[in-house]
């Protein structure tokens, strides 16, 4: 029998669970220890932000919130590899990537607090990124369309989308990677495989040995990466972005990590996963391994850690206060940004809402 084609999926890792190097060919950025310290500081900032966010929700000052605990290396690795002119289309928990690109915590809080103005990012590269996408996998199609526009305009830019392990089973994801391969689009699709699609485990989500290989059928470059190793994530992202920017096609990256938190603050993961599984995942978490590596290089220590945490606390206090002090929009705002000309039925609803609001005040 003749063979039509053969495929294999490479696995990339530089740091093991204890922060020890498992290969010597460090990429150039990882040899810049000052830069690696900055990446660690952003990972730590993201974790402080996340803890504050959960506390805000638990005290009734924020709506349902999707935690990013355990995803810090994956998310910061994605954001730090991108260029400012690239475009990011996220789902709803990639805060580390967004913070790197200029999104402010107060904007995150406005969004989860029910204020759409949080999607109007004001700073840096984030100004042309997409808003959060709660409908599963639709952001992948947004990225594919953006990548097509880049190709038509002959712009050296790349569209990046992120999706979870569960979301990679959606038709939107498959449609996006299929058109990316068929049209040779500058798109990078990143599957952040955190092992759980709410209560559905990875083992019954797909029969494929890897999720990365889903891109093979689309004709894309595919790789599986240790998603708790920021050096591996950043390296895989840099390579994928460079290929896309040079017209060499798109990629599917699978970042293998673990969701250390509940799916959202409306979830209780204790109902469907065991305590030992979570305990084992904590032993592989991303912060510890990078910290250990930096300590071994003598560029980080407990004193620096505590000092940075204090700065993070002050930063977050300012962001929380800015969010809590933001004036609410008028009740009519919910009607004002969908249609150029408000239909008659919505105009009646708007007038009724306005009259009820006036009576309430």
Catalytic center residues: 259, 263, 272
Q: Rounded to whole angstroms, how far apart are CA atoms 282 and 303?
A: 23
Q: What's the rounded Cα separation, in Å, for the pair 261 and 341?
A: 44
Q: Are 165 and 205 within 8 A, CB to CB?
A: yes
**Burial class of residue 206 in the structure, from the number of CB atoms within 10 Å of its CB (0-12 exposed, 13-18 middle, 19+ buried):** middle
* Distances from the Cα of 64 to the Cα of 92, 110, 130, 263, 302, angstroms: 11, 12, 20, 10, 34
CB 245 within 8 A of CB 188: no
CB 12 within 8 A of CB 226: yes
Helix (H, G, I), strand (E, B) or coil at 69: coil
HSE-CB of 336 using CA atoms within 13 angstroms:
9
Quick check: helix, strand or coil at residue 310? helix
What tokens does 162 get? 């992120």
Q: How deeply is 144 buried, as exposed, middle or buried, from its count of CB atoms within 10 A (0-12, 13-18, 19+)?
A: buried
Residue at token pair 């592989």: 284
The answer to whether the CB of 35 falls within 8 A of the CB of 29 is yes
Type and span of the H or E element at 12 = strand 10-12
Neighbours of 301 (CB within 10 A): 12
Q: By three-state DSSP, how is residue 26 classified?
A: coil
191 vs 165: CA distance, rounded Å? 6
């Amino acid at each position: 029998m003749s063979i039509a084609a053969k495929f294999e999926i490479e696995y990339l890792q530089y740091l093991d669970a204890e922060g020890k190097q498992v290969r010597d060919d460090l990429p150039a950025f990882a040899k810049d220890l000052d830069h690696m310290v900055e990446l660690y500081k952003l990972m730590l900032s993201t974790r402080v932000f996340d803890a504050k966010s959960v506390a805000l929700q638990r005290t009734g000052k924020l709506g349902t919130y999707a935690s990013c605990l355990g995803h810090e290396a994956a998310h910061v690795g994605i954001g730090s590899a991108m260029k400012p002119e690239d475009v990011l289309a996220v789902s709803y928990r990639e805060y580390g990537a967004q913070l790197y690109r200029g999104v402010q915590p107060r904007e995150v809080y406005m969004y989860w607090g029910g204020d759409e103005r949080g999607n109007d990012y004001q700073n840096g590269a984030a100004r042309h990124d997409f808003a959060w996408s709660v409908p599963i996998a639709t952001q992948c199609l947004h990225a594919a369309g953006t990548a097509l526009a880049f190709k038509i305009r002959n712009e050296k830019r790349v569209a990046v989308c992120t999706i979870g392990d569960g979301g990679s089973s959606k038709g939107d994801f498959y449609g996006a990677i299929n058109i990316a391969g068929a049209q040779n689009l500058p798109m990078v699709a990143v599957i952040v495989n955190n092992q759980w699609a709410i209560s559905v485990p990875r083992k019954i989500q797909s029969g494929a040995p890897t999720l990365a290989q889903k891109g093979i059928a689309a004709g894309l470059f595919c790789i599986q990466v240790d998603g708790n190793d920021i050096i591996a994530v950043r390296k895989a992202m840099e390579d994928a972005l460079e290929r896309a920017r040079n017209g060499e096609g798109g990629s599917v990256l699978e970042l293998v990590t673990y969701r250390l938190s509940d799916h959202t603050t409306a979830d209780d993961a204790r109902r469907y996963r065991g305590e030992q599984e979570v305990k084992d995942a904590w032993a592989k978490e991303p912060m510890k391994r990078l910290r250990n590596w930096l300590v071994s290089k003598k560029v980080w220590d407990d004193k620096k850690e505590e000092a940075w945490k204090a700065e993070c606390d002050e930063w977050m206090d300012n962001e929380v206060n800015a969010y809590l002090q933001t004036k609410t929009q008028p009740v009519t705002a919910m009607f004002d940004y969908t249609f150029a000309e408000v239909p008659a039925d919505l105009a009646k609803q708007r007038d009724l809402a306005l009259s009820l609001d006036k009576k309430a005040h």
